[in-house]
């Protein structure tokens, strides 16, 4: 059924179709509508789930950790300060190998109080052991929730579905909402290998001495390394059932491209408008949108970028004292494999708009310079 829905509600419908059993959340702009709709679905019994109201995001994640340990499929959504307040529990969820799925609306962190799009909230959680999926449109948001449960429950790794504040969260687009029976056929119920039950008592998350802790972390990393392959497998299966492929990246016009943009989120969609326009002028440009940021799909990125003559990475984030974060990852992916010049641009912090013209400026700069003049090239900073 096709329906015009906002990005926030695409998350809600995704969770509903995944038949989540426990939802716990605390409201925060620009996320609130995600859990508002889910609470309505719970109240009307459109969704048979427990909705646990809590006093903070820290408690929301704590509640889901308990529910997930008991074997329930769990969901929450948050943004910016809500996510950073959860930080400690993100480690608990991943370290506990609990396949929790959450939506995060990319919003800037204060101060300057700002509710607009910026990736620093989720990227500052990159080392917590969660998978991270950055979405470019509302359809992808809904589809990603369903795929994320499939991958998460197979590998016992939690997943974050990430969308830009307002340019997705509050933007209405046509979304094909699949039939429940089709989703059921793709995503079977969650049956964890171990769970908290009075019939068979276990202890979880207890004291772990240096004799064992190291191996637990080794296993989490080994599971992470399997993610790109499982994304490919589940993404192809999704395509067979629903007609939409869900891969680690979206490669657009890259095959013969001299210059390849590396982008993420909604900017990765807008970039395609600039690519189309410049291709009409005869410039061979392409766009590689990174959908899966954690684990970073090194081999796939390498595969697409190593033939390019130049690479321009566009970051809506910054690691202070370092560079744009996708820029760091891209350099790391190509190190030792290619000597292609990599340009790192920072644009759009705190919701400053990223337009097709922004990409034209970036492409112009990259074509007109042999190598970048600095590690960070700032786009649109007012002097």
Partner 1 sequence: MMEIRFHGRGGQGTVVASKILADALAKEGNYVQAYPEFGVERRGAPVYAFIRIDNKPIYDKSRIYTPDHVVVVDPTLVEAIDVTVGLKPGGIIIINSDREPEDFRFQEIYRVATINATDIAVKYKLGTLATPIVNTAIVGAVIKILNLCRLESLVEAIREGVPIKPEDNIRAATEAYEKAKTLL
Q: Which residues bind partner 1 (CB under 8 A)?
A: 2-4, 115-116, 136-137, 164-168, 170-174, 266-267, 269-270, 272-273, 351, 353-356, 358
Whose Cβ is closer to partner 1: residue 104's or residue 266's? Answer: 266
Cα–Cα distance for residue pair 223/170, rounded to 1 Å = 34
In the complex, the smallest distance separating the C-beta of residue 103 from partner 1, rounded to whole angstroms, is 18
Alpha-carbon distances of 201 from 79, 100, 168, 196, 197, rounded to whole Å = 36, 22, 44, 7, 6
Tell the smallest beta-carbon distance from residue 154 to partner 1 (Å). Answer: 31
Which residues are paired to 162 by β-bridges? Answer: 104, 134
- Report in angstroms how near the CB of residue 2 gets to partner 1 at its nearest: 7
Give the nearer residue to partner 1 in terms of CB position, either 126 or 170: 170
Answer whether 132's CB lies under 8 Å from 162's CB.
yes
Nearer to partner 1, 250 or 329 (CB): 250
Identify the CA nearest to 68 among candidates 222, 202, 191. Answer: 191
CA 66, CA 54: separation in Å to the nearest integer? 14
Residue 271 neighbours by CB distance under 10 Å: 29
* Integer CA distances (angstroms), 370 to 224, 257, 311, 336, 341, in order: 37, 17, 11, 20, 8
Q: Copy the structure tokens of residue 295.
A: 């684990």
171-187 b/e (C-beta count within 10 Å ≥ 16 → b) = beeebebbeeeebeebb
Quick check: helix, strand or coil at residue 89? helix
Residue 126 Cβ vs partner 1, minimum distance, rounded to whole Å? 23
Measured from the CB of residue 207, what is the shortest distance to partner 1 in angstroms? 48
289 pairs with which residues across the strands? 250, 263
Distance in Å, CB of 136 to partner 1, minimum: 8
Taking the C-alpha atoms of residue 212 and residue 133, their distance in angstroms, rounded to an integer, is 31
CB burial of 88-126 (b: ≥16 within 10 Å; e: otherwise) equals ebbebbbbbbbbbbbbbbbbbbeeeebbbbbbbbbbbbb
Burial class for 245, CB neighbours closer than 10 Å (0-12, 13-18, 19+): middle
β-pairing verdict for 292-294 and 131-134: antiparallel
């Amino acid at each position: 059924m096709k329906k015009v829905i906002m990005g926030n509600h695409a998350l809600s419908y995704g969770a509903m179709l995944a038949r989540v059993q426990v939802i716990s959340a605390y409201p925060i702009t620009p996320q609130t509508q995600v859990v508002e709709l889910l609470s309505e679905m719970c109240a009307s019994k459109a969704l048979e789930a427990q909705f646990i109201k809590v006093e903070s995001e820290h408690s929301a994640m704590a509640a889901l950790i308990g529910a997930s340990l008991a074997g329930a499929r769990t969901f929450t959504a948050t943004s910016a300060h809500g996510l950073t307040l959860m930080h400690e529990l993100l480690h608990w969820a991943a370290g506990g190998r609990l396949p929790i799925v959450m939506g995060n609306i990319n919003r800037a962190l204060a101060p300057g109080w700002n509710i607009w799009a910026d990736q620093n909230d989720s990227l500052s959680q990159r080392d917590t052991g969660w998978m991270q999926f950055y979405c470019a449109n509302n359809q992808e948001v809904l589809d990603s929730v369903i795929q994320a449960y499939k991958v998460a429950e197979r590998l016992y790794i939690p997943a974050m579905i990430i969308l830009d504040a307002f340019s997705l969260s509050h933007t209405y687009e046509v979304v094909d909402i699949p039939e429940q029976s089709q989703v059921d056929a793709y995503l079977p119920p969650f049956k964890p290998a171990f769970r908290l039950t009075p019939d068979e008592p276990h202890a979880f998350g207890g004291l772990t001495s240096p004799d064992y802790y190291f191996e637990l972390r080794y296993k989490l990393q080994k599971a992470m390394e399997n993610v790109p392959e499982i994304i490919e497998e589940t993404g192809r299966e999704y395509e067979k059932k629903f007609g939409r492929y869900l891969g680690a990246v979206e490669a657009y016009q890259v095959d013969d491209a001299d210059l390849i943009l590396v982008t993420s989120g909604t900017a990765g969609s807008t970039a395609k408008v600039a690519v189309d326009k410049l291709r009409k002028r005869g410039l061979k440009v392409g766009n590689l949108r990174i959908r899966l940021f954690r684990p970073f799909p090194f081999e796939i990125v390498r595969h697409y970028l190593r033939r390019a003559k130049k690479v321009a990475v566009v970051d809506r984030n910054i690691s202070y004292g370092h560079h744009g974060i996708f820029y760091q990852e891209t350099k790391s992916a190509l190190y030792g494999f290619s000597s292609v010049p990599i340009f790192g641009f920072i644009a759009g912090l705190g919701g400053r708009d990223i337009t097709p013209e922004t990409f034209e400026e970036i492409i112009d700069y990259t074509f007109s310079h042999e190598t970048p003049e600095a590690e960070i090239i700032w786009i649109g900073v007012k002097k």
